[in-house]
Amino acid sequence: MHQEQWLAALETIDDHLPVPNSFPQDEENQDHNYEFMCTFDGEHENPGERWTQGESIDGKGEFSYGRQPGGGKPDLDEVIEEMHNEVS
């Protein structure tokens, strides 16, 4: 969740919390800069809240809603007994 989305969420509870904004924006991953990533398993609808849609507070982007990349059950290889750190 982008710092601007946290500020938008805080607006809904009438509270303000300062968020440091000194990190250089050119070093941020811009691919998902203003996207709220859902971490629930299965499909969930966009809650339609301030932090998931509309213009960002800084005016530099649009909030969006998406799924967190990855997830699901891992595809693990068979366990190699010699790799366990146990004393027999």
**Closest C-alpha among 69, 6, 62 to residue 34:** 62
Q: What is the pLDDT of residue 19?
A: 59
Q: What is the pLDDT of residue 3?
A: 79
For 20, how many CA atoms within 13 A lie in the half-sphere containing its CB? 3
Is residue 26 domain-resident? no
Domain residues for 48?
A: 1-15+33-70
pLDDT of residue 10: 75
pLDDT at 53: 92
Residue 76 maps to a domain: no
Q: Is 81 contained in some domain?
A: no
Output the pLDDT for position 37. Answer: 86
The domain total for the chain is 1
**Cα-based distances in Å from 6 to 11, 12, 62, 84, 85:** 9, 10, 14, 42, 43
Per-residue pLDDT of the chain (88 residues; tens, 9 = 90+): 677 887 787 777 765 555 566 777 788 778 888 898 887 776 778 888 988 999 998 898 999 998 777 666 777 777 777 776 666 5
The answer to whether residue 83 is domain-embedded is: no
Beta strand 35-38 with 54-55 is: unpaired
Q: What is the pLDDT of residue 39?
A: 77
